[in-house]
Amino acid sequence: MDEKRTVHEPLPNDSLLPGCKPVLELLEESPDTVDLVLCRQKLNNREVSRIQEICSKHAIRFQRVEEALLEKICKRQGGQGTVSHQGLVARVCNFAFIDMEQLLAKLADAPLPLLLALDQVQDPGNIGTLARTLYTLGGAGIIVPMHNSARIGPAARRAAAGCLEKLPIARVTNLGHALDRCEEEGLAIYGALGAQSAANAWTEPMLLPAVLVLGNEERGLRPDIVKRCQTLLAIPHARRFDSLNVAQAGAILIGLCCARQAAQR
């Protein structure tokens, strides 16, 4: 677990829980509702040790930060005053995730037996837009990695227009291992890649049930994720253009899966 990584993303005011004891109690009762713990540098006591232990067990991010950052966060939380944080703040995730086995069990009941796996997609708007498209076209659910992925919060919810609450989403510690599990269940694994060596998405059969893997907005799919894709897909461009964003590319490929399914009936 990386304790020194800089906190780049903002912490929404309505999802913070300050104080060692309240955070520890929440972690002991509902660890799945916490996705980040910020702890003051050099704060070490029995409660903090127990919090670190639970975070490690459940793959929850635990980060050491300066006192000034905690003060800034908690002042924003408390309006004119400052909420007492005792050197520790947790970010509470208000979204209910399911585990991989539950997600796989729902696959057969979906109108479109397709899972979407997002490899470190950073823009919450893209996640929300993809969820909206996938849900509307009958997809089964989404897999997101626990680390280095956009938070499913207000921005993602706005873009999804209510679909995130209806679509099953599994948050996994290791996306590669999750794809291995999908392969064990007999799912075809397709990865979106803009390389010339990728198959033409217009002509590729795209068998179902399947997982469609979409990559980071700038870097695309990581090499270890590419290795797990059975087929790499590229969307041909009729005109010279740099690229489609991940939400646009995902919508096109999800639509193609629908067309393939309709043709097979």
Q: Using one digit for the tens of pLDDT, what is the confidence trace for 203-231?
A: 998 999 999 999 999 999 999 999 999 99
Which pTM value belongs to this model? 0.74
Say if residue 3's pLDDT is above 50.
no
What is 100-264's CATH topology?
Alpha/beta knot (3.40.1280)
Lowest-confidence region among 172-181, 215-224, 238-247: 238-247
Say if residue 13's pLDDT is above 60.
no
User: Residue 10 to residues 69, 74, 76, 145, 200: CA-CA distances in angstroms?
Assistant: 11, 12, 11, 19, 39
Fold equal for 13-92 and 100-264? no
Residue 129's pLDDT is 96
Say if residue 249's pLDDT is above 50.
yes
Q: Using one digit for the tens of pLDDT, what is the confidence trace for 84-93?
A: 788 999 988 7
DSSP β-ladder status, 16-18 and 88-92? antiparallel
Res. 73 pLDDT band, cuts 50 70 90: confident
* Higher-confidence position of 141 and 237: 141
Tokens coding 29: 């009762």
Residue 187's pLDDT is 97
151 near 35, Cβ under 8 Å?
yes
13-92 homologous superfamily: Ribosomal protein L30/S12 (3.30.1330.30)
> What ranges do the domains of the chain cover?
13-92, 100-264
